[in-house]
Chain A
Amino acid sequence: SQKIEQNSEALNIQEGKTATLTCNYTNYSPAYLQWYRQDPGRGPVFLLLIRENEKEKRKERLKVTFDTTLKQSLFHITASQPADSATYLCALQYSSASKIIFGSGTRLSIRP
């Protein structure tokens, strides 16, 4: 079965630096790879989606890369702020209408 690995340890970053989160998966590549943000006690919030034929996607201070050879996605937050502190979830989707398979998430803390 498909396995998704995200940084198991929490990530602590100084404000203003770039945070980089890793998502590795096994088996075959998904058609779509998504990143979500989740705050404590709340549902996940969609951030970015990247397709298997795309190498990079940007949105404001966020950047996602997708390497199907390495079976890896990197999620970057530039100019990080304390408000970026949350758990970030990587998720794979194999077709447009199928279920999403989530990783266990990486907890990110940005210290002032």
Chain B
Amino acid sequence: DTGVSQDPRHKITKRGQNVTFRCDPISEHNRLYWYRQTLGQGPEFLTYFQNEAQLEKSRLLSDRFSAERPKGSFSTLEIQRTEQGDSAMYLCASSPPGTASSYEQYFGPGTRLTVT
């Protein structure tokens, strides 16, 4: 399967613990996006990378959230000191460079986080 992959698919953690999620985009896709989605809502933008540069970050992303894409390939999203309000589906998407089809985003299956 050459689509976007995310790991883990499910994560249950206790409040106060740190968690890290990984996203592997489609190869040759230079843009990578993180979104958060709660039940009954559409995905909310968190942050965006072009290659290894983090170009945009939402106000939703508090100091407890950090994302990296060190070599311009896979990305990690870390949440420190998790809170119950962090429970959500975390979605990763990638987009290819500079062509007419580069505006559509290809989403991974998501990581469902439950904070108890």
Q: Which of A37-66 contact B (CB under 8 A)?
A: 41-46, 49
> Chain B's nearest CB lies how many Å from the CB of A41?
8
Q: Is A81 at the interface (CB under 8 A from chain B)?
A: no
Whether A45 lies near B42 (C-beta < 8 A) is no
Q: Is B110 at the interface (CB under 8 A from chain A)?
A: yes
Docked complex Cα distance between A54 and B93 (Å): 26
Q: Compute the total of residue contacts between A and B using a CB distance below 8 Å.
A: 57
Partner of A34, one of B35, B103, B109, B112: B103
Whether B103 lies near A96 (C-beta < 8 A) is yes
Interface size on A, residues (CB 8 A): 23
Contact-residue size bin, chain B (C-beta under 8 Å from the other chain): 20 to 34
Q: Mark B25-36, 1 if CB is under 8 A from A, else 0.
A: 000000101010
Whether A100 lies near B106 (C-beta < 8 A) is no
Q: Is B8 at the interface (CB under 8 A from chain A)?
A: no
Q: Which of B21-77 contact A (CB under 8 A)?
A: 31, 33, 35, 40-45, 48, 50, 55-56, 58
Cβ contacts under 8 Å, A91 to chain B: 42
Partner of B106, one of A32, A41, A46, A93: A46
- Interface centre among B48, B50, B105, by most chain A C-beta atoms within 10 angstroms, is B105
Closest A residue to B44 using CB positions: A102
Cβ contacts under 8 Å, A42 to chain B: 109-110
Which B residues are closer than 8 A to A by beta carbons?
4, 31, 33, 35, 40-45, 48, 50, 55-56, 58, 91, 93, 102-110, 112
